């Protein structure tokens, strides 16, 4: 499955967020997602405007923004239209269905109203998909399950990962794929040729191997070519520590990661 082009895979999905993302990647020729983990509205929007031409997806942690307001969402949506990218709120929901439905739709952030894609830990069981799906599916949103993580010592391995894949298989209209470190968990159990899941992978870097808090980095080539993942998620590798942002360096790094990710993908589909 991972040898098919993004464009060919559009038809294998019924979910509109999955279709939109795959079409966009094919059209714009990028599999780069930038994770914009900064805490001020101004830096957040500045970085997104700078990397916008090079990304298929912008990943947010909306709850770390100190001066969040509705205008930030309006501006984010304007940038999404201007540069042609989708929005992924990395919320990592992890509660019972009833609670996550409220967290997804209500409160200050009203995530479901603007995030095309969000994600959830499978730890509560299928009820978390039912809860999020009751809000997101009618809006055409897509959900990723965290079947693996990038950090040292994480518990999302083995049977846990396999169970996450099974939960996704039961809910393919809303669960569009996984946050995972490789395609292996799917290959082993792939059931039929029409099954297609997106694999989005954080922990991607080119100049460092990790940080002091357990993060571990792999290169875009390792992630996309060797491990068959679809989207590379890059944060600090592009904008550093988020202080004193140098826009031209942010743009240079975004183009560098974009090129590395796309070349690895071209080599993969070339087989």
Q: Output 24 or 32, the one with its CB closest to ligand 5BU.
A: 32
The single residue of 95, 110, 184, 255 carrying the catalytic annotation is: 95
Q: Kindly state whether residue 179 participates in binding ligand 5BU, applying the rule CB under 6 A.
A: yes
State the Cα–Cα distance between residues 232 and 218, nearest whole angstrom. Answer: 10
Q: 122-128, long-range: CB within 8 Å, 24+ apart, which pairs?
A: 122/146, 122/147, 122/160, 122/163, 122/164, 122/167, 123/94, 124/94, 124/95, 124/96, 124/97, 125/167, 126/167, 126/170, 126/171, 127/96, 127/97, 128/93, 128/94, 128/95, 128/96, 128/97, 128/100
Candidate segments 62-70, 75-83, 105-113, 234-242, binder of ligand 5BU by CB under 6 A: 234-242
Q: Kindly state whether residue 220 participates in binding ligand 5BU, applying the rule CB under 6 A.
A: no
Which are the contacts of 208, defined by CB distance < 8 A and separation ≥ 6? 217, 237
Q: At which residue do the structure tokens 């031409």 appear? A: 53
Interface with ligand 5BU (CB under 6 A), residue total 17
Which one-letter DSSP state was computed for residue 177? E
Q: Kindly state whether residue 237 participates in binding ligand 5BU, applying the rule CB under 6 A.
A: yes
Q: Kindly state whether residue 202 participates in binding ligand 5BU, applying the rule CB under 6 A.
A: yes
State the Cα–Cα distance between residues 41 and 70, nearest whole angstrom. Answer: 11
Q: Kindly state whether residue 260 participates in binding ligand 5BU, applying the rule CB under 6 A.
A: no
Is 235 one of the annotated binding-site residues? yes
Candidate segments 15-23, 110-118, 129-137, 232-240, binder of ligand 5BU by CB under 6 A: 232-240
The single residue of 75, 92, 110, 255 carrying the catalytic annotation is: 92
Catalytic annotation present for 95: yes
Is 59 one of the annotated binding-site residues? yes
Task: Kindly state the smallest distance separating residue 269's Cβ from ligand 5BU, in Å.
Answer: 25
Candidate segments 41-49, 190-198, 229-237, 245-253, binder of ligand 5BU by CB under 6 A: 229-237
Q: Kindly state whether residue 122 participates in binding ligand 5BU, applying the rule CB under 6 A.
A: no
Pair 227, 28: CB distance under 8 Å: no
Q: Which of 65, 39, 130, 57 is nearest to 93 (CA)?
A: 130
Residues that bind ligand 5BU (CB under 6 A): 35, 37, 61, 90, 146, 149-151, 179, 202-203, 215, 233-237
- Report the catalytic residues: 90, 92, 95
């Amino acid at each position: 499955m991972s040898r098919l082009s993004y464009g060919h895979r559009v038809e294998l999905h019924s979910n509109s967020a999955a279709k939109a993302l795959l079409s966009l990647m094919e059209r714009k020729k990028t599999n780069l997602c930038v994770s914009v983990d900064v805490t001020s509205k101004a830096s957040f929007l500045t970085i997104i405007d700078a990397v916008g031409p090079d990304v298929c997806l912008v990943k947010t942690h909306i709850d770390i923004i100190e001066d969040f307001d509705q205008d930030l969402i309006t501006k984010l949506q304007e940038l999404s239209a201007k540069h042609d990218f989708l929005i992924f709120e990395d919320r990592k929901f992890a509660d019972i269905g009833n609670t996550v439905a409220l967290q997804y739709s209500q409160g200050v952030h009203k995530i479901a109203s603007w995030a095309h894609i969000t994600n959830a830990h499978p730890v509560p069981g299928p009820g978390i998909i039912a809860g999020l799906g009751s809000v997101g599916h009618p809006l055409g949103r897509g959900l990723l399950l965290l079947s693996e993580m990038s950090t040292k010592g994480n518990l999302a391995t083995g049977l846990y990962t396999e169970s996450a894949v099974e939960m996704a298989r039961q809910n393919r209209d809303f669960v569009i794929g996984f946050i995972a470190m490789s395609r292996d968990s799917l290959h082993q159990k792939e059931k039929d040729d029409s099954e297609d899941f997106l694999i989005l992978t954080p922990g991607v870097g080119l100049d460092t191997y990790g940080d002091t808090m357990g993060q571990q980095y792999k290169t875009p080539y390792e992630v996309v070519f060797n491990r068959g993942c679809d989207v590379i998620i890059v944060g600090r590798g592009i904008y550093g520590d988020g202080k004193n942002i140098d826009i031209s360096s942010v743009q240079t790094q975004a183009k560098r990661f974009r090129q590395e990710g796309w070349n690895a993908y071209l080599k993969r589909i070339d087989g």
